[in-house]
Structure formats: structure tokens, C-alpha cells
Structure 1
Amino acid sequence: MSFVSKFKLSFIITMSWLMIGCTTINVDHVRLRDDIELNAGDAMVVLGRHQTAEIQTEASLVACIGGRLTRGTDKVRIIPESEFVDAFYPWFEARTAPLRPAKLKKVLDQPMVAAKIAAMKIRYFVWVEGSTERTNSAGSMTCSIGPGGGGCFGFGTWEDTSDYETTIWDLKTFSEVGRVSTEAVGTSYMPAFVIPIPLLAQVEGDACQGMGNQLVRFFSDVSVQE
């Protein structure tokens, strides 16, 4: 291996170790009622808000939170969002989904909907609202191709911010019983010395873990009635 090749490799490895994408996350949890309960076999569905172009919660985040709950608690069954929405079409599509527990009660006034909810033993809804956005970027990079080959040179950074809130509805009382909010800010790096190396902050994944862990704690404290 030539000196230049060794230098390039050493530079890449050093940059990779020194500049790993990092995330700062804050999670807030509010329990609005102390008398949370579950019956054996109860189920819960985690749904994302998608009612407008501005409010499009990522399906990947909703699935991640549902998966975290599935792994973290055996007290309640988790029904996937897609399965639930398909089963209750069109009542929980983007433009028709209820925004408040009182509106949900009106939906359940439909005998067919109420019968399905009862058959699936759904006790809690967890609504997830928010998004991850690019909030800042800096740096530059140039790429070229010549007779001897090509490559990219430069350095760039960008910042992503995740801002999400989950609300927990109890279908027995048609009330909101809890709320979890999270804000995650992560900085990613893209150094390039011939080959660009993205060092990404896992902002959405960190937000999922923060909210998912808090929701697991929320339901872990609940006693199950046989």
C-alpha cells in the first residue's frame, strides 16, 4: 500500500472516530389519571396523525414505538397501525380520524365499529403526532472526475430536530389519561477525502426509544384484572 493510500485510510478512520453523529433528547411524561387499569387480554393500537400535509407522522416511527411496546410489556397486546386502519376503513383514515376522545365516542356510536372494537378488546389508543425536520446545515463539498480517477473533497454538517407528542386515550372512559412528549436534536457529519463518509445522528430512532421506553413504564405500573 502506497504512502498516499495509507494516509487516506488513516485520515478516514480518524475522522470516523472523532466525529460520530450525536443526539440530545428530552422526554416529558404526564400521567393525567392514577386509576389506569387493564383487563386480561386487552389490546392497544398505536396510530400516527396524518390529517394534513403539515401533519404527517412517519409510519416508521409509529411502527418503531409499537415494536418497543411489544417487546417491553406483556400486559397488553399491540395491534399494528396498518392492520387496525384496514379493519376499520374508512373511520380512521387521515381525514376522518377523531382528534379528541369525544369525537371517538361518536365514531363508536356506529354499531359495526363498536362491535369490532369489542371483538378485538381494544382498551387504549396511543396517538403519535410530530415529525423530524432538517433545521440547519453548513459546509460544502465538491466532486470531480478526471483522467486519473475522481473523488469528493469537503466537509458538511447538518442538524435534524424531532418533535413528537403521544396522547393516550382510554376507550372505557373516553378520556385522555396520559401524555408523552419528546424533542431530539442530532448533528450529522459528512467528511469527504476522496470518499464521502456519512456519520449520521439517529434522531428518529432515538426519539422512538425515548417515547417507547416511557410508554412501557406507563403501562408496566398498571395492574391487570383477571
Structure 2
Amino acid sequence: MKTRVMNCLVVFASILFAGCTSLTIDEHRTSEDRINIESDQTVVVLGRRHSSEYETEPSLISCVGNVLKRGSDGLNVMSESEFVDALYPWFEPRTAPLHVNDLGRFLDDSTIHGTMEALNVSYIIWIDGQTETTDSSGSIGCSISVGGAGCFGFGTWDKESDYEAVVWDYRNRKTEGQLSADASGTSYMPAIIIPIPIIARVQNSACKGMGAQLKSFFATQE
């Protein structure tokens, strides 16, 4: 199933400028039925961690977790930092699994298994991907003179978010479904005396879209 969302922020100055994001989500579920989850069962959202050169942004992981927790049907979500601390050093960048397929073998370790049971972790949502600046153009110059100071010019930059999320059943060691989220947008910086940034919130759009779609996988039970 594929969905597409467009969000625009419009600001009027002497000219009309807009910073927009587009979002496409493509999902696959192993079953049409929603996953029944008890209120005390824990869900953990984890990002891929592989050295300082590549990791899924902690801010994105935290954002998705917050979306999953909201509302009367919110899930019991443990933060990534709390989970990583509880399982230290197994999920540090130098030792963390690189792919969701590694989780089953990795979590079979008796020490890890005991901690997982104590935390009552039932599902792990594994997210891999990044948000990157793909292009930029234009320039802005600022100057100070006897008559005052000011900036003039116009700049733009494009960002793209590309994430994949997998819902993994820890107790049964199986994948319940997965989705991909692709977001893109262009931010603008017109400067007439002062710079006015008009930001396309690409990562935030990807977070909200993924969070809402992932939440729809579950049916909470009292």
C-alpha cells in the first residue's frame, strides 16, 4: 500500500515563497490482521548504529517513538537510549547488529535474553536510513557600512529522507511487516536586509508519516 502526502509552509513577503515536503510511504504486512498487543508489553524503536560515519539519526528514532506513544491507543514504547543502556555494551556502535536479520541470532545470547524478558520487550521496530542534503544553490552576501548593515541574496537547498522500518516479533522471531518512507523538500533563504529561512521539515515529515503508519500495525488491548 502506498500513500503520498504534501505539506507546505507558505510565507508572504514582497514575494510568495514556500518550503514544501513530499512524502511517499510504501508498506507490506505479512497479515491483514492488526497485531494484538497488551498494554504492558514493550515496543522498542531502534536505529541502525554503525560507527560515527553511519547511523540512523537518534532524533528521528525518538520522534517515531513519541508518535507511537501518543493518544488513547498509544503503545508502551521504551526509548532507544534506555534500551541501549540496559543492554550495554551489546548495542554500542562497535557491537550492534547491522541488519534486522541479525537480531534473532544476536538476541539468543542468554544474558541478552534475560534482560529482554525482564523488560518485557515483545516487538522491535528497526529503522535504517538517513536524511541528507542533496543539492544547494544561490548565495547570500552581508555587509556593514556607515549607513547600516544588511544581507542580500537568495539561497536554496534540497534534502531527502530515505528510511526503511521493519516490525520484528521478538518472542516468535519473525517479521510482521515493513515499510519504506521517502521524503524530499526544498528550503529557501531569501535575504532582503535580513535572511528569512523557510525550512522544509523533511525529517519531521518522514517521522510523522512512519510513526502513524507503524502505529496502525498494532491494536492495543487492556
- TM-score if structure 2 supplies the norm length? 0.86
Give the 3-state SS of the residue equivalent to 1:19 in structure 2.
strand
- The separation in 1 between residues aligned to 2:27 and 2:150, in whole angstroms, is 48
- Percent identity over paired residues: 47
User: Which one-letter code corresponds to 1:212 in the other structure?
Assistant: G
The unaligned stretches of length 5 or more in structure 2 are: 1-10
The unaligned stretches of length 5 or more in structure 1 are: 1-11
Question: Which residue of 2 is the match for residue 47 of structure 1?
Answer: 46
**1:97 partnered with 2:96:** yes
1:176–1:65 Cα change, 3 Å: same
The answer to which structure has the higher helix fraction is: 1
Whether contact under 8 Å (2:50, 2:98) holds in the other structure is no
Match of 1:28 among 26, 29, 35: 26
Question: Which residue of 1 is the match for residue 13 of structure 2?
Answer: 14
Write out per-residue CA displacement over residues 156-185 of structure 1, whole angstroms, 9 at most, x where no aligned residue. Answer: 111111111111111122122111211111
- The separation in 1 between residues aligned to 2:95 and 2:220, in whole angstroms, is 33
Give the 5 Å matches for 1:112-151.
112-151=111-150
- The separation in 1 between residues aligned to 2:170 and 2:60, in whole angstroms, is 23
Write out per-residue CA displacement over residues 76-110 of structure 1, whole angstroms, 9 at most, x where no aligned residue. Answer: 31000000000000111223222455533333333
Whether contact under 8 Å (1:50, 1:94) holds in the other structure is yes
Write out per-residue CA displacement over residues 83-141 of structure 1, whole angstroms, 9 at most, x where no aligned residue. Answer: 00000001112232224555333333332321211111100001111111111112121
Kindly state the Cα deviation for residue 143 of structure 1 after the two structures are TM-superposed: 1.0
Whether contact under 8 Å (1:29, 1:181) holds in the other structure is yes
Across the two proteins, how many residue pairs are aligned to each other?
211
Kindly state the Cα deviation for residue 20 of structure 1 after the two structures are TM-superposed: 2.4
- TM-score if structure 1 supplies the norm length? 0.85
User: Which one-letter code corresponds to 1:32 in the other structure?
Assistant: T
Whether contact under 8 Å (1:101, 1:176) holds in the other structure is no
What CA RMSD, in Å, does the superposition of the two structures yield over aligned residues? 2.1
- The separation in 1 between residues aligned to 2:136 and 2:55, in whole angstroms, is 23
1:15–1:48 Cα change, 3 Å: farther
User: Which one-letter code corresponds to 2:107 in the other structure?
Assistant: L
Whether contact under 8 Å (1:162, 1:184) holds in the other structure is yes
- The separation in 1 between residues aligned to 2:30 and 2:55, in whole angstroms, is 26
Question: Which residue of 2 is the match for residue 171 of structure 1?
Answer: 170
